[in-house]
């Protein structure tokens, strides 16, 4: 739970649906005000905001459109958060895209598109929030990586590289900000039921499921609860870690 004397604020990129929506809901239940960041689906973002306010009537939920790979957009994002809430205590870098192809066929544009959103975007957001959190001497940064960032995956060299990069980014930030009471951790989901995994073929789904010791698909809520813990004051002595939420897939 939040310190009752502080109205904490959480920024969640890619917060309009799927795992991002589940994260927003968990953080709202904890009593955090929210800046729900979305790339283009305003309707979904507003739905998420309404769900968060239904989950906790005491919090405020602000929706902000932002291209996280654009420096000016991100600066404006955090300016709006500070203007509305006066502080930013939690940053969850969840925004992500895929553009799958085999290495021999992948274009530079396909590679850059994924790196720009998934890794460059997280870097820019972290850089902007760092100044705020250092001044507050408090902060929680949680980057959403992936099991493929740890183990790789054929046909996803761009996505795997971006998610592996997030782990290196997280560990470096943890070392830099530890003395300022700012933690940085990563959550690496496995096979989670989202729109992204729903687009897979039935054969691919079955093959992936066979690799999971728990023999079941994870839910966005499974990931959200892990993020909520790392974003809480209960995790104050945990930093630079990668928490796998994968049903044992990465064992």
Q: Indicate if 159 belongs to the active site.
A: yes
CA distances to 1, 197, 217 from 64, in Å? 25, 26, 31
Q: Tell me how far apart the alpha carbons of residues 49 and 66 are, in angstroms, rounded to a whole number.
A: 16
- Quote the tokens at residue 133: 């959190």
- Residue 42 has which token pair? 């305003």
Q: Where are the beta strands (DSSP E) in the chain?
A: 9-13, 33-38, 61-65, 90-93, 139-144, 182-189, 242-245
Give the C-alpha separation, 16 to 195, whole Å.
Answer: 12
64, 138, 144, 176 from 79: Cα distances, Å: 11, 18, 23, 23
CB 145 within 8 A of CB 169: no
CB contact set of 57 (below 8 Å; sequence gap of 6+) = none
Give the active site residues. 159
């Amino acid at each position: 739970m939040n310190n009752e004397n502080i109205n904490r604020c959480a920024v969640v990129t890619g917060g309009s649906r799927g795992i991002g929506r589940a994260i927003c809901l968990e953080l709202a239940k904890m009593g955090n005000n929210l800046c729900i960041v979305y790339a283009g689906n305003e309707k979904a973002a507003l739905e998420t905001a309404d769900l968060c306010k239904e989950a906790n009537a005491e919090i405020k939920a602000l929706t902000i459109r932002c291209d996280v790979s654009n420096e000016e957009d991100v600066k404006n994002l955090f300016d709006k958060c500070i203007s509305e809430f006066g502080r930013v205590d939690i940053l969850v870098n969840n925004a992500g895209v895929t553009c799958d192809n085999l290495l021999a066929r992948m274009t530079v544009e396909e590679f850059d598109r994924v790196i720009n959103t998934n890794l460059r975007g997280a870097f820019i957001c972290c850089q902007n929030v760092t100044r705020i959190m250092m001044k507050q001497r408090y902060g929680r940064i949680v980057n959403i990586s992936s099991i493929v960032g740890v183990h790789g995956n054929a046909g996803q060299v761009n996505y795997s590289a971006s998610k592996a990069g997030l782990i290196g980014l997280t560990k470096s930030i943890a070392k830099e900000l530890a003395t300022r009471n700012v933690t940085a951790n990563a959550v690496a989901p496995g096979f989670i039921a989202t729109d992204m995994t729903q687009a897979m073929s039935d054969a691919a789904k079955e093959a992936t499921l066979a690799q999971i010791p728990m023999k079941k698909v994870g839910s966005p809520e499974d990931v959200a609860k892990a993020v909520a813990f790392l974003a809480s004051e209960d995790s104050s002595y945990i930093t630079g870690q990668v928490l796998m939420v994968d049903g044992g897939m990465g064992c």
